[in-house]
Structure 1
Amino acid sequence: MMNCCGLITPQKNPVPLKSIEVELEVKDHVATVVSTLNYENKEDKPIEAVFVFPLPGEAAVCHFSATIGQTQIVAEVKEKQEARQDYDDALSSGQQAFLLEESEQSPDIFSLSVGSLPPGESASIRLEYVTELAVQADEGLRFCLPAVLNPRYTPRDSEAPSVTVTSVTSSLIPYSLSFSARLSSPRPVSKVESTCSLEPLQYLNPEQTQATVKLAAGHKFDRDVELLIYYKDAHQPTAVVEAGQATAEPGTLMGDPVVMVSLYPEFPQSVMSSIDSCGEFVFLMDRSGSMACPISSQRHEETRISSARDTLLLLLKSLPMGCYFNIYSFGDSYEHIFPKSVEYNEKTMEEAQNKIKKMDADLGGTEILPSLKHIYKQRCIPNQPRQLFIFTDGEVSNTKEVLSLVKKNAGSHRCFSFGIGEGASSALINGFAKMGGGYAQFITGVDRMQPKVMQSLGFSLQPAVKDISVTWDLPKGISVKELSPPIVTIFQGQRSLLYGQLSGQSSKKTEGCVTVKYSLVGHRTKNKLSFSLKPAEDARLTVHRLAARTLIRSLEIEDQENNERNHEQVKKKVVDVSVQSGVSSAFTSFIAVNKDQNKPIEGPMLHRNIPTPCLMSCGGFMPMMAMCKSAPMNVVCCDEALDEHQYFSSEMECYDEGMEEDQELPPVGLKCDAIFAKGIDSPVQEKPKDPFLELVSLQKASGCWLLDLALAAALGKTSEEVEKAKPAKVNNEVWATVLALIWLHGLKKDGEEEWSLLARKAVSWLHAQKDPCVAEAVIAGNALLACSVEKEALGF
């Protein structure tokens, strides 16, 4: 008899991974992460354990070692095929071997193979990586330890090599996680927030520039471990020069000093007070099956697609008159509301609004590439800069192919991306923004999507920065080789990172300077930062590793763009940088071989896939286990509402207790996204109507509201109360618009970042009416809604 609740691997075998320990060290905006994975073989035969897991897409994996008993083996980086051959040769000769590989399709997926672990033997794997921390809308630095590897959807015509993942519900994960973080910065650490339960923040010095924090006991694998770190005066430009490796040859990346510059350009206030009223806004919505899942484990009542619909409505209402727009959605296929982008007016807005309300997660898989290709084929509208907004839960496997397309078209648009829910691919979401010159946001935990999306809309309405150039002023005898790709976009208050390799010497000046120049609304502007050239020692060579990762990523994108042209030449460059720096790449792997262990294997070696948490939970529907192969993706799922011994294939055939004990589960071909598209009922409750969104939905394209029953209901009043309170000489639409603005300012003040743009449009409409009774309307509106909003707050 098969016992569903005790099922760990497809063949019910014990899992050799026992625990994961993670230590995080954050210095200013750079993080070093050390993960230790402890394995133990409790079976009576040698095993090969395979663990497929996610890492941040921007991470530079720079150390990999294994400890067996008292023996430590440090891995070296080799060309991928050479490393695989060494691994196979080691196993066939009876040696223990360890192989760590980055996916060739997506840089945020790794597989770890622990080969020939004898019965009763334990092994400890140490994995280290460094990564930059992204600045969020509220100036917090975001660190995310992905605890989940959501099954990645692979296009039907993909020839990607197979990667197998076993996913089970978080309650069945048989290994534990411990997590601790140490923070240090030149500026005080003001607070740390998380989607997970933390122990209290502990300061290590009176200045509060050093602190520690730990994950509270009892953490379950039901979400990513996300930290938001806040410093006082976080937006300060900095520059760090790191000394090269003493054993490396001068003139090489690792042998020379490397400078990392962090700039925060500030725009003149006169520019920021004006917002562009033109532009072509293209919204691309993921409607794959997985968008029917709850947006987070803490908010089961709200699905990803429902939150995205609400957000799209808010965006639609906030667009300026005179712009152009269109809305696309994608899954196995793609749809668009209009054949091509149309002018934003009352008629087109109403048509789009009605279609948004009907959008659901019913388009199957996550094939984003065809929709992007179609969008890029559309001719740009003169004097209407294109802004592309992409909403997705980020479950695709052809990440590099998608990002290559975005980069090819970066000259015609800016791309703003939004990763919805836990497990969204950081490589994909950040890559969209980086390659498309835009900005990336992640919506997880208790985050509301609307504030983050509206901040990005504000960025898109900022005047485009043009003619960006970077110049270095260094002492005679010192030169710099830029390792970062050219800066393609600058937003107010957002960080720009630059890496440079310094060579040569100067006996006189010890200070350098970097200047970023750009054009903004016809005015030439510059931001300048001076820094000390005296290099600091860092045994981990953190800055060098990050610089190497930046260079490797640029070369890999270049390889994608060239297709077959110059492939071998670019690949050689990547391999050389990867091997020299000890940083992973798509063309290299970490390989470690225990040559002390040289006993022939007796009998066949068993293969064990380590399960990862699966977050594809939609209320009562919980996929029990997913074997995710790249083409196609295989899924076995179990519905909690059914008998625990029943299994379903893609045709929903039942496999029950009559199966033999050792019989493998049948292969199935249902893609994970398609599970939901097949129409499996979800008990997710319809959330109550939000008065704010009700009020927003009633606003007209011009910015005004109409005086009707729907408005009164949204304001929490009867139509009689609203009519009775209206001053006699006040126009109906003016009165309605004043009431809506008072409600927003008086009763929704904490959500101002969500409605500021549509309120600004409403105020502009009011000014255009030149109604002399506006002040009287404000007084009457305050009395009706029990508010005390000053007319100056409304722009009068």
Structure 2
Amino acid sequence: MTALPVVPIAPAAPRPDAGLGTLSTPRGNLPLDRLDVRARISGLVARTVVTTEFVNAFDEPLEATYVFPLPDRAAVTGMTMTADDRTIEADLRERGAAREAYDAAIAAGQRASIAEEERPDVFTMRVGNILPGERVTVTLSLTGPLAWEDDAATFRFPLVVAPRYVPGTPLPGEQAGDGRVRDTDAVPDASRITPPVLLPGFPHPLRLSIGVDLDTAGLPLSEVRSSLHAVTQDGGRIEILPGERADRDFILRLPYSGSGSGAVFVPDADGGTYQMVVLPPAAAGAPRPKDVVLLLDRSGSMHGWKMVTARRATARIVDTLTAADRFAVLTFDNHIDRPASLGDGLSEATDRNRFRAVEWVAGAQARGGTEILAPLQAGLRLLSTSEGRDRVLVLITDGQVGNEDQILAHAGPLASGVRVHTVGIDRAVNAGFLGRLAAAGAGRCELVESEDRLDEAMDRIHRRIAAPLVTGVTVSGFPARRPESIFPGVPLVLFERASGDVPSSLTVRGRTRDDAEFTVEVPVRRSDETAVTAQWARARLRELEDRYTIGEVHLEPEIVATSLRHRVLCRFTAWLAVDTRVVTEGGTTRRVTQPVESPSGWETPDALGAGRPGGVHPGGMRPAGLRRAAGGGFRATAADGGFRTGGGGFRAGGAASFSDAPAFGAPPPAPPASAPSPTESAPPAYAPPPASSGGGPVSPSPRPAAPESAPAPKATPSPTPRPAPRPAPRPVPSASPSPAMAPMVSAARDVRPEPRAELAAFARTEVTRLRESAELSIMERRDLLDDLATRLHAVLTGVPESEVRPLAELKRLLLSGLGDLATLWSESLRLLDAFVADTGDTAGEGPQPKRRKPFWK
């Protein structure tokens, strides 16, 4: 075959609507061009092939990094890399050795790819030495179980890694990855789980296609429900419609009816693997009195429909309590709050107390950072004194945190004897963390992706908060393990390895809720279903990794050995594919991290302040009017016209970008004793317009059905009117503020002149520093932009010409050299453009990040 000549393609200037971190060329966005998901569902097993296609439209070799999610319970059992008509089968290796081999291959000019696990549901893929004009395809093979509850199976495939709150103090030196947030002592690999985030409204960055083949077993496809617009095709296939975006979880709900308890045994060279399913018995006996602690996440990422849904969920749970129960309700962000009228302990669930709690919860507004560990510890301590009662903790959150391991390590020991349930509310929920936390507390995890599904989910939660139907479940012939529980409507699924003779049945024993003995004989049949072994290996690896997290570091060799023996990826291994041919020698390799979609239902992102101490959600997803802070944040004080800074920022692109709300990612200031908290009484400064979220019943025709599981965000009711939505960006700044800015401008007229002089001095000082430091880092530029934005609040009008010049020069120097970040910076500095003439900013290439060191040793 004659090789086609490679035509170099020069990089193009950034598009005006490009998102943060994207590259734009005549061929489109880089580097990921196509994402294809093909699943085959048979019974309660899903076999999935994920295909990613990378393209290099530059005139130099490219190394692409892609941070992406996968189902948290799925086993990654294989990988291939295809380029230039050659397909390379990947090998599973210990992670440190795999990374060394990958780096050596890239340095030698060979094409290579590596896939690594960062969290149970977050992975990183790197593909190096992609030649100019070349396409490289990497496929991953997965095997995973379907969740089966209340006679319905759920296939959930996540499509985007949402921004996560990162607490802790930044670590010095090189970072573990190329993400937007620095590694911290609480999240040592934060830079590996925080990819760049595209601005909402950005044109489709990749071609997304999803197809699912169903073994229907006579079930009518009209009963299947999907979170994305989809149609059925001949042969039992479901395909999503073209144009869907990778900004949420893809969910299929399938009506499955159980035929009874049973077990299968899959033999192999080392013995075999059991999979056992035990259906829940009929309820017997009334639940015992219980103590319930409800933890409601009110952090900034919960803004909009998620906050409304979380308040409703909390109220519904409180309403289901009886007079025999006791309860406490806590809301949290950077602080923990609770109703003052209910005291500091557990309150009797009387009608009056329940009404007070629901009334107080109704006023909760999203703000601050997602500090889950402290409220979790506080709730578990409240339950530590309970005696003779069932102890239950319910966490209602989106789970978007980066310090999952820290939370499990510190809260796990306190959860002994407490049943922990988690309610995940988001369209791109952190299911891996919430599932791990519920498993550690012997509870259940319920996921809610829309307000429409809340009633269905709450019905399940109400039935499962009560005592389980069966506790202390053990299986004859199985090794001793932590006793399991059987909940209403939820079959118990167990995996176990064994050798020797295969019995005809297994005996399952436990205690019912009225303390009677529970016994059931489960028949066993032989099977050649290899997926059972892979699912056991994945479940076993997750169990060992969680034990490693809480301090059992001696388990690392066993984790690695189990992963390699069964060829299932874990956090200590990696899939590696290396092409033996040398495709490039020497020269420069461009490194690009693939930006991800802004999650559906989240607020406009901004990059200001991302990654600095104090805890942040990378991407700045938060309620309008709330600002990010680093190490304390800032807050404008109208009383004296002053301000204090801690590296804080403000929401990009909003006209009303400042308010008296507390900083995001920092503790909110305490309100005066005689005045309510600003976040309790003031509405957000900006409400995003409703957007279609897709989804609904699977349609038999190409016409999309009405959304079933992801409605448009609903605005939180407020006693005061909202300001007008922000205006569209203006190509030429005007000296007159827009109508949306009028209230701010009016307030600024009363500001004393001292801040103006400080702003001018600040600008002159920083202009000098910028000129003297030609290699100022992007992070340092972000800090300067934050400080400049803070000071602008005090000087919206009446700035003398002598003070405008250094401001304009400072802005030009800050934007110079930021490359594709320039578009976002220009948008975020629109307040400055309101009274500073356009200076003709230029964009260039920012510095390339250094190659990172392994982070896990």
Counterpart position of 2:297: 286
Counterpart position of 1:128: 141
C-alpha RMSD of matched pairs (Å) = 3.3
Counterpart position of 1:607: 591
TM-score, structure 1 length as denominator?
A: 0.71
The answer (yes or no) to whether the contact 1:142–1:227 under 8 Å persists in 2 is yes
User: CA offset at residue 292 of structure 1?
Assistant: 0.8
Counterpart position of 1:100: 115
The answer (yes or no) to whether the contact 2:295–2:330 under 8 Å persists in 1 is yes
Go from structure 1 to structure 2 and tell me whether the alpha carbon gap of 1:629 and 1:229 turns closer, same or farther (over 3 Å shift). Answer: farther
> SS of 1:428's equivalent?
helix
CA distance in 1, matches of 2:621, 2:421: 37
Question: What amino acid is the match of 2:254?
Answer: I
The answer (yes or no) to whether the contact 1:61–1:583 under 8 Å persists in 2 is yes
CA distance in 2, matches of 1:289, 1:633: 10
User: CA offset at residue 453 of structure 1?
Assistant: 2.2
> SS of 1:558's equivalent?
helix
Unaligned runs of 5+ in 1: 205-210, 245-249, 294-302, 473-479, 643-648, 657-668, 690-796
Q: Among residues 362, 369, 374, which one is paired with 2:373 in the alignment?
A: 369
User: CA offset at residue 291 of structure 1?
Assistant: 0.8
The answer (yes or no) to whether the contact 1:153–1:672 under 8 Å persists in 2 is no
Is 1:511 the counterpart of 2:504 in the alignment? yes
Is 1:224 the counterpart of 2:216 in the alignment? no
Is 1:23 the counterpart of 2:38 in the alignment? yes
CA distance in 2, matches of 1:264, 1:627: 51
Counterpart position of 1:183: 214
Structure 1 runs (4+) deviating above 6 angstroms are 624-628, 637-642, 653-656
Go from structure 1 to structure 2 and tell me whether the alpha carbon gap of 1:501 and 1:315 turns closer, same or farther (over 3 Å shift). Answer: closer
Question: What amino acid is the match of 2:544?
Answer: L
Is 1:535 the counterpart of 2:534 in the alignment? no
Counterpart position of 1:500: 496
> SS of 2:37's equivalent?
strand
CA distance in 2, matches of 1:143, 1:38: 24
Is 1:196 the counterpart of 2:228 in the alignment? yes
User: CA offset at residue 188 of structure 1?
Assistant: 4.1
Identity of matched residues, %: 22
The answer (yes or no) to whether the contact 1:465–1:518 under 8 Å persists in 2 is yes
Deviation sequence 1:132-168 (CA, Å, 0-9, x none):
11124x4221111112211011112442122240111
Counterpart position of 1:87: 102
The answer (yes or no) to whether the contact 1:51–1:610 under 8 Å persists in 2 is yes
Counterpart position of 1:583: 568
Counterpart position of 2:649: 651
Counterpart position of 2:816: none
CA distance in 2, matches of 1:42, 1:10: 13
User: CA offset at residue 526 of structure 1?
Assistant: 1.2
CA distance in 2, matches of 1:61, 1:627: 35
User: CA offset at residue 71 of structure 1?
Assistant: 1.4
Q: Among residues 387, 392, 395, which one is paired with 2:400 in the alignment?
A: 395
Go from structure 1 to structure 2 and tell me whether the alpha carbon gap of 1:384 and 1:186 turns closer, same or farther (over 3 Å shift). Answer: same
The answer (yes or no) to whether the contact 2:114–2:575 under 8 Å persists in 1 is yes
> SS of 1:418's equivalent?
strand
> SS of 2:546's equivalent?
helix
CA distance in 2, matches of 1:511, 1:109: 40
Q: Among residues 459, 467, 472, which one is paired with 1:454 in the alignment?
A: 459
CA distance in 1, matches of 2:622, 2:717: 27
User: CA offset at residue 622 of structure 1?
Assistant: 2.2
User: CA offset at residue 630 of structure 1?
Assistant: 9.3
CA distance in 2, matches of 1:429, 1:134: 15
Q: Among residues 151, 163, 175, which one is paired with 1:151 in the alignment?
A: 163
The answer (yes or no) to whether the contact 2:263–2:277 under 8 Å persists in 1 is yes
CA distance in 2, matches of 1:419, 1:526: 33
Q: Among residues 542, 555, 560, which one is paired with 2:549 in the alignment?
A: 560
Deviation sequence 1:8-59 (CA, Å, 0-9, x none):
6356564021111111011211211101111111110111100001112212
Is 1:234 the counterpart of 2:263 in the alignment? no
Counterpart position of 2:604: 622
Counterpart position of 2:482: 486
Aligned residues: 614
Question: What amino acid is the match of 1:546?
Answer: Q
Deviation sequence 1:384-438 (CA, Å, 0-9, x none):
2211111101101122332344543443211121110211111122223222122
Question: What amino acid is the match of 2:132?
Answer: P
Counterpart position of 1:298: none
CA distance in 2, matches of 1:497, 1:261: 6
Counterpart position of 1:790: none
> SS of 1:518's equivalent?
strand
Deviation sequence 1:452-501 (CA, Å, 0-9, x none):
123212222245633322114xxxxxxx668xx53432113311111122
**Quick check: which one's strand share is greater?**
1
The answer (yes or no) to whether the contact 1:8–1:15 under 8 Å persists in 2 is no
> SS of 1:290's equivalent?
helix
> SS of 1:85's equivalent?
helix
Counterpart position of 1:333: 335
Is 1:522 the counterpart of 2:520 in the alignment? no
The answer (yes or no) to whether the contact 1:58–1:132 under 8 Å persists in 2 is yes
Go from structure 1 to structure 2 and tell me whether the alpha carbon gap of 1:144 and 1:56 turns closer, same or farther (over 3 Å shift). Answer: same
Counterpart position of 1:551: 540
Question: What amino acid is the match of 2:154?
Answer: R
Counterpart position of 1:751: none
CA distance in 2, matches of 1:314, 1:383: 25
Question: What amino acid is the match of 2:598?
Answer: C
CA distance in 1, matches of 2:201, 2:583: 38
> SS of 2:486's equivalent?
coil
TM-score, structure 2 length as denominator?
A: 0.66
CA distance in 1, matches of 2:80, 2:460: 43
Counterpart position of 1:661: none
User: CA offset at residue 680 of structure 1?
Assistant: 4.5
Higher RCO (C-alpha 8 Å, min separation 6):
1
CA distance in 2, matches of 1:4, 1:223: 25
Deviation sequence 1:559-588 (CA, Å, 0-9, x none):
122x2xx51x30000000111111111111
* Comparing 397-406 and 548-557, the one that deviates more: 397-406
The answer (yes or no) to whether the contact 2:41–2:214 under 8 Å persists in 1 is yes
